Amino acid sequence: MSVYPRAQRAQTVAVAPTETTLQTFDVDRTSVLALHLYNADATQTFQGSLRLQARPDESTAVLPFAQSEWLGLRDVVPLTARCVDVPVGGLATLAVVGTMSGAGGNVVLSARDLPAT
């Protein structure tokens, strides 16, 4: 698993009809991660969720992943985009995962840190 820095430029990712990890982000020093996802497929709907991994404190190991049905990434219909701000305080990593409704297609994903409010 490759872990990306807390901000990244838009990247096109192939998504299968089975669960696919689009990107994994290091968010241990982030309060809010802004995600922008564009479903580039003309016929398939993207179903996304997040896998969250926490670290109780700096001296302990990272806990196993927990799945989150983040509603902002569900039902992204063909050729539409979603922007969601995910509060990630207390997390070590966040993975964006999802499936396509058909044989598979592409999405474009980018992320950046937002300042704490």
Query: 64-108, pLDDT tens digit by residue?
Result: 667 676 678 999 999 999 999 998 888 888 999 999 999 999 999
Looking only at the bridges linking them, the beta strands covering 91-100 and 32-39 are unpaired
- More confident: 117 or 101: 101
Q: How many CA atoms lie within 13 A of 95 on its CB side?
A: 18
**Domain assignment present for 53:** yes
Residue 26's DSSP bridge partners are: 93
What's phi and psi for 73, nearest 5 deg?
-110, 10
Tokens at residue 50, please?
């997040």
Domain containing 73 equals 15-104
Each residue's pLDDT tens digit, 1-30: 445 445 567 899 999 999 999 999 988 888
Each residue's pLDDT tens digit, 29-41: 888 999 999 999 9
The total of structural domains in the chain comes to 1
**Domain assignment present for 7:** no
Strand, coil or helix: what is 73?
helix
**Domain assignment present for 19:** yes
**Domain assignment present for 10:** no
Its pTM stands at 0.84
Q: Could you tell me the sign of the dihedral formed by the alpha carbons of 66, 71, 76, 80, in that order?
A: negative
